[in-house]
Structure 1
Amino acid sequence: MDKIEVIGVMSGTSLDGLDLCHVIFDLKNLSDFKIANSISIRYNSNILEKLHNIVERESEEINNIDIVYGTFIGESINKFISDFNLKNINLISSHGHTVFHQPEMGITLQIGNGEIINKMTGIKTVNNFRAQDLSLGGQGAPLVPIGDKILFSKFKYCLNLGGFINLSIKSDNQITAYDICPLNTVLNFYSKKMGYEFDENGILSSRGKINIDLFNELNSISFYFKKNPKSLGIEFVIDKIFPLIDSYKISEEETLATFVKHAAFQISKNINDSEKVLLSGGGTYNNNLVDILRNEYNINIIIPNKKIIDFKEALIFALLGVLRIQNKTNCLKSVTGAEKDHSSGDIYF
């Protein structure tokens, strides 16, 4: 078999839906790939209600949601296969939805039961990519950098603007990566308070005035001064970001403007040359954020095609699954801080 066809599955912390990405890889050269089909599926009200504030639920309820959500993923994949008449899918590789991620306590949990996905589709399935890394002393995140290394090797910087902002940096044949700060988890929350699903094109944040005191206090949060490796979970937003913002009693537009400026500032602290920076994730469409990065911080932003913007993470999780079934490294110690490089993920046949 010269090629392998994979469906990569990704659910982000911003709860904007489930991404499915059908990728064809050349097994002799995995950097040779094609995104053949892709779709983003909005969550129905039932799934959205179950995922919302899931971190605050009891363990038994989380276990039940794991089954429900795994069933939803399985149904979504079967419909995707039917709608696009896909005949040769060899593998499903699913990140799942993160319930909580607390590496300092050795805890991470992604739901979306892999065994159920496998049984419903009849296709070999890989999931649970993070747990093994924690057991090896790592952060369990970020996982995308191995994909940045293999698939996007010509870029020194790969910057994902999703629920959280993640940065991969390639230098001297070494790659490091880490979470910078939250983004859409915060922007979407305050946009919804204004009656919008998200800040489309950054219009809402562009209207607001920056609150300098809040801006300065956000930038003084201790996480930003920690050394790498480091990663973030939704708990950071719930415990640190929301209470701090809400203590200011300012308008949502002012909040959005201030947080976008904060995110841009934190990005700028981590990119200190004129090398190209490849963007991806929903925040790429936030023109206000991109304009600040380009015009105020002189960052050399490269915006790829829409498929890469929208499906880069699902694409890379497809790659992680291929590496896993080949028993090749898909998790890098230089990124997570684990004691060794390793091949991570549970496989269901």
Structure 2
Amino acid sequence: MNTYHVIGLMSGTSLDGLDIAYCRLTYKTKNWIYNILNAETLPYSDYWIDSLRGAETAAGQNLVALDHAFGQHMGEQVRQFIVRHNIQPDFVASHGHTIFHQPDKHISLQIGNGAYLAAHARLPVICDIRTLDIALGGQGAPLVPIGDELLFADYDYCLNLGGIANISFNHNGRRIAYDISACNMLLNTLANQAGFSYDEDGRLAQSGKLDAILLQQLNVPSYFSAPYPKSLGKEWVLEHSLKTLAESNATIADKLHTTCHHIAQQIANALQPANYKQKVLVTGGGAFNSYLIALLQKYAGNGYRIEVPAPELVSFKEALVFAFLGVLRWRNEVNSLQTVTGASRNSVGGAIYMG
């Protein structure tokens, strides 16, 4: 079998909704070809936002119950999506929703129980892709880079501007990838304080002024200069970047303006010196922030071509790649790279529930 029809599910730290992408993935002449056939972002209700946001402090029994309930919820959403679009997927590949990610303690928990998801979607489900890598001494993240390697080889860099900004690139024949800094977790938190769900086109940020002291404080943490492999969790962002912003007396507009500079500077630092025009594919919600993209081009310089693709790929690239990770698991092929995570070897990660 060389063609697969798969639903990829992604729930990110920004809590803007459940991304569902129905994808066709075909292996032809030693290359993978992808098509996003149908895709939607289903916004979370206040109940789910509050439940997922508060899960990290939930009692053990409550967290288990939430894991099951969220799995059921995703399964029901998948079933309705299938009916709406009159499609017949082969299986579902789910990232789940991250509650804990503390790789230094060998902890990474994504809820959305695969058995409950399979039971209510009435389809096979592949999930829990991170745990084997962690058992092998890796960080369990990032996972998307093998998709970048096999689906987006035309680009020198793949940059995702989600709740956390992460980058992936090939360096001397090895795939390198890591989390750069918090991104929409900061921008959306600040926009929420101004009464908006997000800062459309970065207009509020653009209206502000640079706070040099705040910028210096945001850039201070040792994580930014630490070598890879490395990855960030919500816990780190709360303890560092969000705490720094909360302690600042700057206006919200000035905080947004300064944070955009911080993010763009850290991303520019992650790019290798360029002797020629290097193509950077930019996806994730932050790619719609035109002010942030303009700053990134400014800090990166003329050696880089910052490319924001069609909105569908911007919004659903991660769901597409998780569908692809599911295909690799289904084929019993490597879907987690040791060069990226720091594990002792490459692995074929993911639990399968047959539904």
Q: Residue 225 of structure 1: CA displacement? A: 1.4
Give the corresponding residue for 1:198.
198
Structure 1 residues 347 and 210: alpha-carbon distance in aligned structure 2, compared to 1, 3 A threshold: same
Q: What CA deviation, in whole Å up to 9, does each residue of 1:271-319 have, x standing for no partner?
A: 1324110000000010111111113432420111111100000000000
Give the structure-1-normalised TM-score: 0.97
| Offset of residue 212 of structure 1 | 0.5
1:33-52 to 2 correspondences below 5 Å: 33-52=34-53
Aligned to 1:263: 263
Match of 1:163 in 2: 163
Contact 2:8 2:94 in 1 (8 A): yes
- The residue number in structure 2 matching 1:65 is 66
Q: Which amino acid aligns with 1:291?
A: A
| Counterpart position of 1:320 | 325
Per-residue Cα deviation, 1:247-279 (whole angstroms, up to 9, x for no partner)? 222211111111110000001111132411000
Equivalent residue number for residue 24 of structure 1: 24
2:295 aligns with one of 292, 296, 303: 292
* Conserved? CA contact 2:125–2:353, under 8 Å: yes
For 2:4, the equivalent position in structure 1 comes to: 4
Match of 2:307 in 1: 302
Aligned to 1:347: 352
Distance in 1 separating the partners of 2:78 and 2:134: 29
**3-state SS of 1:5 partner:** strand
Does the 8 Å CA contact 1:156/1:171 hold for their aligned counterparts?
no
SS at match of 1:238: helix
Amino acid at match of 1:288: Y
CA distance in 1, matches of 2:296, 2:249: 27
Would the aligned equivalents of 1:245 and 1:255 in 2 still touch at CA under 8 Å?
yes
Which residue pairs with 1:84 in the alignment?
Answer: 85
Find the aligned partners of 2:31 and 2:239 in 1 and give their Cα distance: 40
**Residue range with higher mean Cα deviation, 313-322 or 118-127:** 118-127
Q: Shift of residue 172 of structure 1?
A: 3.5
Query: Contact 1:157/1:277 (CA < 8 Å) preserved in 2?
Result: yes
Which residue in the other structure is 2:114 paired with? 114
Corresponding letter in the other structure for 1:343: V
Structure 2: how far apart are the matches of 1:27 and 1:154?
17
Are 2:265 and 2:299, in contact at CA under 8 Å, matched by a contact in 1? no
Distance in 1 separating the partners of 2:326 and 2:245: 39
Question: Quick one: distance in 1 between partners of 2:191 and 2:197?
Answer: 6
SS in 1 for 2:228: coil
Partner amino acid, structure 1, of 2:282? L
**Displacement of 1:30:** 5.7
1:174 and 1:280 map into 2 onto residues whose CA distance is 22
Counterpart of 2:283 in structure 1 is 280
Task: Measure, in 2, the Cα distance between the counterparts of 1:165 and 1:68.
Answer: 29
CA contact (8 A) 2:91 2:123 kept: yes
* CA contact 2:132–2:349 (8 Å) conserved in 1: yes
Match of 2:132 in 1: 132
Between the aligned residues of both structures, percent identity stands at 38
Where does structure 2 lack aligned partners over 5 or more consecutive residues?
A: none
Q: Note if contact 2:130-2:349 (Cα within 8 Å) is conserved in structure 1.
A: yes
What SS does structure 2 have at the residue aligned with 1:97? strand
CA distance, structure 1, for counterparts of residue 166 and residue 293 of structure 2: 15
Is the CA contact 2:101–2:232 (under 8 Å) kept in the aligned structure 1? Answer: yes
CA distance in 2, matches of 1:297, 1:26: 35
Deviation for aligned residue 1:240 = 1.3
Q: Figure out how many residues of one structure are paired with residues of the other and give that number.
A: 348
Q: How many Å apart are 1:58 and its aligned residue?
A: 2.0
